[in-house]
Structure 1
Amino acid sequence: MTPATRTGLSLFAALALMAMELAPANAQDAYGGYWGGGDVMLVTPEGDILDYIPGEAEVHAMRDRRGRTVLVDPWGNIVATVVPNDGYGRGQRRREYGRDGYPEPRDRGYGYSEPGEFTGAIPEYRDIAPAPVEREDLPNSLPSLSDREEAAYDPQYDDPLAQPMPPAMTVTGKSRAEIAALQVFLDREGFSPGVIDGKMGSNVTKAIEAWQQATGETLDPNNTEDILERLRFNGGLPITTYTITAADAAGPFVASIPEDYAHKAQLPHLSFTSVTEMLGEKFHMDEAYLRELNPGVDFSIPGTTIKVVNPGPNKKGKVARIVADKARKQVLAYDEAGKLIAAYPSTIGSSDTPSPSGTVHVERIAFDPGYTYNPKINFQQGANDRILQLQPGPNGPVGTVWIALSKPTYGIHGTPEPSKIGKTQSHGCVRLTNWDATELGKMVSTGVTVEFVD
C-alpha cells in the first residue's frame, strides 16, 4: 500500500463554518462593551491568556452560537475567546479553561493504545471542540480591527520561485490521538506544527500548507489510515514508550524561573524546572499533553516507563535561504536549488519592537548560549537599568540556540515557552521552539540570507 493523496479546495475552514446554529450578532456584545468597559481577557483554545491584542491583519471578530465574541485567524482557526476577567488577569499563565474559552471539567483520565495496537482506529480522547462561529464581522469588535471583507491569504514574495501556499483541508471530527499522529508526521517531515499536543490550530494548518508547497502533494488530514501508513514508512508509530533514567530524574533542575532579569542573572544555570518540562522538550510535546498520556505517573522515579511522542531524528540538509514571513508567523527554509525543505511556526516581532524588513544574513550560530541584557540597546525589562549577564539554559531568554543576524541585536532563537510560539509577540527577533531552532541551526551556516517579508 502506498500513501494516498487527496485533492481539496477548502479555504479558511469554510466547510467547518457552514450550516451551524448561530445566535444573532449584537453590537452591544462587542469587545470592551458588553463586558463592562473592557473588563475582559482573551483566552486561547489551549486555555492560555493572550498577552496582546491581535492586529487587524491577524484576526477577525466573529460571534459563536452562544453569543460570545471569538477572534478567528485567516485559516478559520479560533485564536481566542473574549471572556470576563474574573480576577485571574494576564499574570496567570494557565487557568482551567476549556477549548471553548470557559472553565474546563477536571481531567478524568483516559488510556492510550499500546504501541503494538496503534492502528487506523485510534481511541477517542477527551476533546472539547471549539464552538462554531458565524462568518460575519462584528461592527466595532476590536479597536484594531477593520470591517473589510476577509480575503484569501495569498503571501507574495519578491522571488519568482515563491508561490501561494496550497490551502489545507479542513480537519473535522478527529480525536486527540489522530491529530497528534498528524502533528508527528509533519514534525518528522521537517514542517513543524510547534508543540505536539493533539490539538488542531493555525500552526498545524500552516505546516500542512508548507508541506504541500514543498512536495506538490495534497495531504488529507482527515484520512487517518493514510497518515499512519506514511508514518510507518517514516519512523514508525507516533507514540512510543520511554523509560525514565536516573540522569533524567537527577536534572539539574531549578525550583522556578523568575520573571525579573536581575533575579535570573543570579541563577547559576537557567535549567528546566521539572522532569516533565525536560521530557516535553525532548519529545517535542506540550507538558500538559505528556501528563494526559500518563495519568497518575510520578515522573521523578527512575525506571518508570511512560508513553511519549516519537518525533524521529532532526531534519538534515543545507539551508541556503531563509524567509521569515511576518504575516504567516512562519519561517521557511530553502536549499540552494530554491526548494522548500523545512518550515517552522514562529513569533516574529511586535508593534512595539518590530522585526527588521528586507534582507540580512546569518553572522554566527551559537548553541546553549548565554545572554547579555543591555537596556540601552535591547529593550526595557522591568526596572532593570544596567547590563546583566544571564547564564545558558533552556529557560533562558533565547532558549538553547542563537542564530545572530547581520542587523545588530536581532537573531533567530529558541524560547523557554514553546506552547506560545506563533501566538504571542517577541522583542523584534524570530522566536522558534528550542528543538526547531536547534534543527535549523544545524542546517544553516554563516552568510545564509534571511529575508523578512510582510
Structure 2
Amino acid sequence: MKKARFYTIPFVFALALLPVTEPAAAHEPLYKNGRQIFLVAPDGRQLDYIPEYGSVVMGTDAEGRPILLDRSGNLVATEMSAREYRSLRENRGGPASLAERGWHRNDRGWNGDRFANRPDRYNNPPRGWNETPSESYGFPPPPDIPAPAAPEPDRAPARAQANAKPDMNVVALQVFLDRNGLSPGVIDGLMGNNVRKALDAYAEKSGRQLDADADSETILQSLSLEGGLPVKNYTITAEDAAGPYVASIPSDYGRKAELPALSYTSVSEMLAEKFHMDEGFLKALNPDADFSRPGTVIKVVNPGGKQKGAVTRIIADKSLKQLFAYDEAGALVAAYPATIGSTDTPSPSGTVTVERVALDPNYTYNPSKNFKQGDNDRVLTINPGPNGPVGNVWIALSKPSYGIHGTPDPAKIGKTSSHGCVRLTNWDAQELAAMVSPGVTVEFVE
C-alpha cells in the first residue's frame, strides 16, 4: 500500500499573501497552480478558518490527495478542487462526511495509512511546493516592476534587476535580516547585493552562515515566533490619507527651496518607507488597492522594531558600500547598505567623530563650500521632510559639511554615489541616530 507523506510547511505564510477579501462564512478563496481549492473538514463542510502556522502537518493520502493533519495525526481538512467540492455537494445533496464517502479511520489513520511521528520526514518538500509561494494559494504573481524614470545625471539607475519578479522567500529573508539589525535596504523580494552584504554581516554578528534556500523554513519559524510572519494586513487610517503630501519634488534646488516642506508625494510612498518596502513592490502586493481611501486593508511586510543599544564605533566601508556599527565591547550591533562619496566629491579618509544628531533638519545648500547643483549659485535653505536632500536625519561629523544622513531615494542606496557623505535609507538613519551620541568615532576605510 502506498504510504502517506507528511511535512511541516510555512502554511500560514503562503496563505497570508492572499488578496484581502470581505469576511465570509468559509475560508478565503485559495488558489493553487491556477485552480481554486477548498479545505474540506472530515464532516464534508468547508473550513471557516485558516489553520495557524505550526498547528498542522501537510501530506498526501493513499490516493495522492493533499491533506492537513494535526500533530496527533487527526485529519483536519482535505484539499479539493472547486469541481470536486461542487460534485460532492451535488451528489450528496449537501456536505457529506468522509465516512459517507467511503473513508474510514482506524489506529493506522484514514484509509489505513500510518501517520507516525517521524520528524525526519518533516523536511521533505511537499508535493506541489516547488513553485514559489506567489504561485500557490492565491497570491497573484506580481507584475513586472517598471524601471525607474531617467536618473539625475550624477546617479546610476536604481535597479539593474528592474524586470525581475519578487520572490516571497527572499522577502522573508529580508525581513529576518532587517529585524536582526542587518539591513537589506528596501524590502523588494529581490536577491541583490544589499541582501548578500546583509547575509555576510549576519555571519559576523551571529557566528553562523545563513543559507537563503536551505534555511527558508527555519527563517519562517523564527519570524513567526519573534515578531510575527513577514507579511501582515494593515488598514489605511484617516491620518495616513490626510498627509500632508506634495504633488511632486522638483530636482532643482532653487525650486525645492520654495516648498514649505519636502513631504511625501503619496500615501503609497509614505507607507513603503514606514514598512521598509520598495514602493513598486508595495503596489505589486496590492494591485487593486486605493491607497487614498481610509479603511482600505492592504498587505505590507512586517519588519519589526528598531535595534537598540549604544554604538561607540562606526566603520564606513567605501568598497563594500556598507556601514557597520559596533558597541563598546566590539560586537556588531547593526549594519546598513550605504552610498558613500563619489569620484567628484569623495568622502573623508581616516577617522572623524560624531558631533551632533538632528532629526527633520533644514538643509543648507552653499555652492561655494560644497557642490554646485544646476544653475544655483547662491545659498539656499531647503525645508525639512523625508524627500529633502538629506532625508529626515542628519548625523553631523567633525569634518565640516560631512555627515551620515537619510535619502529621498531609498531604492538607490548602495547602488549610486553621493556628494561625499554617507547616505542611508531614512529608516536606517533613524535607527542609527537613536544609538549614537557625540564623540562616537567614524572610520572611513577603502
User: TM class, shorter-chain normalised?
Assistant: 0.5 to 0.7
Give the whole-Å Cα distance in 2 for the aligned partners of 1:124 and 1:212: 28
Per-residue deviation, 1:396: 0.2
- Provide the residue aligned with 2:296 in structure 1: 304
1:193 to 175, 184, 187: 184
Give TM-score scaled by structure 1 length: 0.64
- What letter matches 2:168 in structure 1? A
- Provide the residue aligned with 1:318 in structure 2: 310
Give the whole-Å Cα distance in 2 for the aligned partners of 1:209 and 1:344: 12
Aligned residue pairs total: 301
Q: Which runs of 5+ in 1 are unaligned?
A: 1-108, 130-172
Give the whole-Å Cα distance in 1 for the aligned partners of 2:309 and 2:191: 28
Kindly indicate whether the alpha-carbon contact (under 8 Å) linking 1:115 and 1:239 is maintained by their aligned counterparts in 2.
no
Give the whole-Å Cα distance in 2 for the aligned partners of 1:395 and 1:410: 19
Matched, 1:180 2:190: no
Q: State the Cα deviation string for residues 32-76 of structure 1 (Å, max 9, x = none).
A: xxxxxxxxxxxxxxxxxxxxxxxxxxxxxxxxxxxxxxxxxxxxx
Kindly indicate whether the alpha-carbon contact (under 8 Å) linking 1:188 and 1:234 is maintained by their aligned counterparts in 2.
no
- Provide the residue aligned with 1:275 in structure 2: 267
- Provide the residue aligned with 2:210 in structure 1: 219
Q: State the Cα deviation string for residues 129-188 of structure 1 (Å, max 9, x = none).
A: 9xxxxxxxxxxxxxxxxxxxxxxxxxxxxxxxxxxxxxxxxxxx9961110000000000
Q: State the Cα deviation string for residues 344-396 of structure 1 (Å, max 9, x = none).
A: 00000000100000000000000111100000011100000000000000000
- What letter matches 2:186 in structure 1? V
Q: Structure 1 residues 275, 118: closer, same or farther in 2, change over 3 A?
A: farther
- Provide the residue aligned with 2:284 in structure 1: 292
- The alignment partner of 2:245 has SS state of coil
- The alignment partner of 2:239 has SS state of helix
Give the whole-Å Cα distance in 1 for the aligned partners of 2:418 and 2:50: 39
Point out the structure with max Rg over C-alpha.
Answer: 2
- Provide the residue aligned with 2:64 in structure 1: none
Give the whole-Å Cα distance in 1 for the aligned partners of 2:303 and 2:208: 22
1:205 to 191, 196, 208: 196
- Provide the residue aligned with 2:340 in structure 1: 348
- Provide the residue aligned with 2:4 in structure 1: none
- Provide the residue aligned with 2:255 in structure 1: 263
- What letter matches 2:173 in structure 1? L
Give the whole-Å Cα distance in 2 for the aligned partners of 1:436 and 1:362: 17
Give the whole-Å Cα distance in 2 for the aligned partners of 1:276 and 1:366: 26
Give TM-score scaled by structure 2 length: 0.65
Q: State the Cα deviation string for residues 202-227 of structure 1 (Å, max 9, x = none).
A: 00000000011111012111121011
Give the whole-Å Cα distance in 1 for the aligned partners of 2:347 and 2:364: 19
- Provide the residue aligned with 2:240 in structure 1: 248
- Provide the residue aligned with 2:327 in structure 1: 335
- Provide the residue aligned with 2:442 in structure 1: 450
Q: Structure 1 residues 384, 378: closer, same or farther in 2, change over 3 A?
A: same
- What letter matches 1:416 in structure 2? P
Q: What percent identity do the matched residue pairs reach?
A: 66
2:411 to 419, 422, 427: 419
- Provide the residue aligned with 2:388 in structure 1: 396
Give the alignment's Cα RMSD to 1 decimal.
Answer: 2.4
Which consecutive aligned stretches of 4+ in structure 1 deviate over 2 angstroms post-superposition? 114-122, 124-129
- The alignment partner of 2:404 has SS state of strand
Per-residue deviation, 1:117: 6.7
Give the whole-Å Cα distance in 1 for the aligned partners of 2:204 and 2:142: 30
